[in-house]
Amino acid sequence: MLEQLPVLQYFRFTPLPPAGPSSYSVGTMSERFDCHYCRDSLQGKKYVQKEGRHCCVKCFEKICANTCIECKKPIGADSKELHFKNRYWHDSCFRCFKCHMSLVNEPFMLRENNKVWCSNCTATEDAPRCKGCFKPIIAGDQNVEYKKMVWHKDCFTCSQCKKVIGSGSFFPKGDEFYCVSCHEHKFAKTCAKCKNPITSGGLTYQEQPWHSECFICSNCKKQLGGKRFTAVEDQFYCVECYKECVAKKCAGCKNPITGFGRGTSVVNYEDESWHDYCFKCTKCARGLANKRFVCHNGKIYCAECPKRL
């Protein structure tokens, strides 16, 4: 969330009574004085006194009056003048540049090009902009911030379903953002067994993804992740279930031929199978794996022993 915006410092200005060498006073002349500039008599006429000099209203506005920084016209003797940092305004011209509200006796900010702004417009103008609607995010608005970008809470929506993500979980993909549900359906891998998205964990067998809870022994239903197993015609078996339910029995020792541990090689002859270390001569017990042998009366012999029978 964004921190609250700092409070801007404004200047409150109230027109002051005339004072100092640059001020002036207005009155009606009762004595015999002439205008300092045009030399017309001021007796019985309205005049302006500025810096010890008396002048008629016309000369004052033409020669002495300050110019309004907003309308560029002289600020006449009958007008109310506002000033700030050697800048002058008619009181009617002292308005917010943005909303045009009068700023007489109101807080304001002097910004670029000598334009004055009210506090509300200044706060709005300087506020960060929502990445969604591009409108300002005012202090107090609920918002979401991610990698120096900011949104109104209701503007932070899923790129797929357009539902508000707000302060919920999401997944960024380039310039787009997805809620958990849409990300699962659009980008997550699909389990080879149940066909549902794999949102976390999972495993891979023969380049196919599986949920851990879906990759199980076909017989006892125990999970096989990280364990030894055997695949038989698209079915998976743990070692124990393979021994008991699937593996052929050795014609010699009568134990299952699992392919695990000792005797990983198998000897097959006609319809029977042996561990390689169990395939030996019935008479001399010589190992016959990968050697010539003779079958006599259903028994296995080496090439020499049948001659001695």
Q: Which residue segments constitute the domains of the chain, with CATH numbers given?
A: 47-119 (2.10.110.10), 127-186 (2.10.110.10), 189-245 (2.10.110.10), 247-302 (2.10.110.10)
According to the model, what pLDDT value does residue 261 have?
Answer: 63
According to the model, what pLDDT value does residue 30 have?
Answer: 59
According to the model, what pLDDT value does residue 154 have?
Answer: 87
Low-confidence ranges of the chain (pLDDT < 70): 1-31, 126, 139-140, 259-264, 309
According to the model, what pLDDT value does residue 13 have?
Answer: 36
According to the model, what pLDDT value does residue 293 have?
Answer: 87
- Are 63 and 55 within 8 A, CB to CB? yes
The closest alpha carbon to 192, from 202, 181, 180, belongs to 202
Could you report the per-residue pLDDT of 263-276, keeping only the tens digit for each?
567 888 887 888 88
Query: What number of CA atoms fall less than 13 Å from residue 115's CA on the CB side?
Result: 13
According to the model, what pLDDT value does residue 37 have?
Answer: 86
According to the model, what pLDDT value does residue 106 have?
Answer: 78
Share of the chain above pLDDT 70, in %: 86
